[in-house]
Amino acid sequence: MSDSAPAIRVKVLFFGRLKEIAGRTEDILDLADGAPIEALFARCVARQPELERYRSSLVASRNQEFVAWSTPLHSGDEVAFLPPVSGG
Amino acid sequence: MPMPAPDFDLLLLAHEPLNLSSLIEHVRTPSDGAIVTFDGCVRNQSHGRRTLYLDYEAYETMAVAKMREIATEIHTKFSIDRVAIAHRLGRLKIGETSVFIAVSAAHRPAAFEACRYAIDTLKRTVPIWKKEYFEDGAVWADGELPRAPEDTATAKRAS
């Protein structure tokens, strides 16, 4: 975490096969304010290296909207890394 | 252009069997001459393997929000009246309805087109996942990766 940016706390949610790999449905993680979603994913990978291989087949959401991986995060954000959807 | 009528639309996720007739009646009004429905149900095989049952899960708050977006979108694209979109969650047996869509309209072409558009969009954008259970194992079903703004930005930079 950067020394210059204040810390923020975000919630990350796991679904489908990611939930099985992570072994939990959610995490609360602290990051530097404005850190991109990509950095949050890296933090998750650090805790659960097997997540890395799914990176290219995930889409990120922030506060329930699909967003780019470069999207900056702020305190209280709810992020999810979503596998390909298969409803219907 | 028809005005969106989101107050009359019904978007729901259910852990119990869907009541299909109540969904149909929800969209029926005296000004409609057509109701088109789509009933998505659990098939007994997948890629040649016999399916025992399916387990559905959702990012529930986002799924309902995305279903509402679909309803709003079809109101703007097609001359329809009311929309009901419902999806089951949890364990489903063969033959059970997993997703049900009902669209009413004054005339049938708009209802057919809107219903088709709604199910096609749901399968691409609504965060719901199914795990297929077979006699010899289970797999998360192949799905579609929703498009995020990043894709658009990359395409623009490339052009």
Residue A2 covered by a domain: no
Residue A87 covered by a domain: no
How close A71 gets to chain B, by Cα (Å)? 9
Residue A16 covered by a domain: yes
Which residues in chain B are closer than 8 Å to A61, comparing Cβ atoms? 59, 62, 127
**How many domains in chain A?**
1
Residue A53 covered by a domain: yes
How close B98 gets to chain A, by Cα (Å)? 6
Domain B6-158 has CATH 3.40.50.1100: no
The range of the structural domain enclosing residue A57 comes to: 7-82
ipTM above 0.85, yes or no: yes
pLDDT in tens, B112-133: 999 999 999 999 999 999 999 9
Interchain CB contacts (distance < 8 Å): A and B? 92
Q: What is the CA radius of gyration of chain A?
A: 12
Residue A47 covered by a domain: yes
Q: What is the pTM of this model?
A: 0.91
Which residues in chain B are closer than 8 Å to A16, comparing Cβ atoms? 57, 129, 131, 140
- CATH number of domain containing A50: 3.10.20.30
Q: Where are the domains of chain B?
A: 6-158
Residues facing residue B133 across a β-bridge: B53, B138
pLDDT in tens, B46-73: 989 999 999 999 999 999 999 999 999 9
In angstroms, the CA B99 to CA B87 distance is 4
**Contact call for residues B35 and B103 (beta carbons, < 8 A):** yes
Mutation site, B145, B152, B156, interface A, largest A CB count within 10 A: B145
Mutation site, B54, B140, B156, interface A, largest A CB count within 10 A: B140
pLDDT in tens, B61-104: 999 999 999 999 999 999 999 999 999 999 999 999 999 999 99
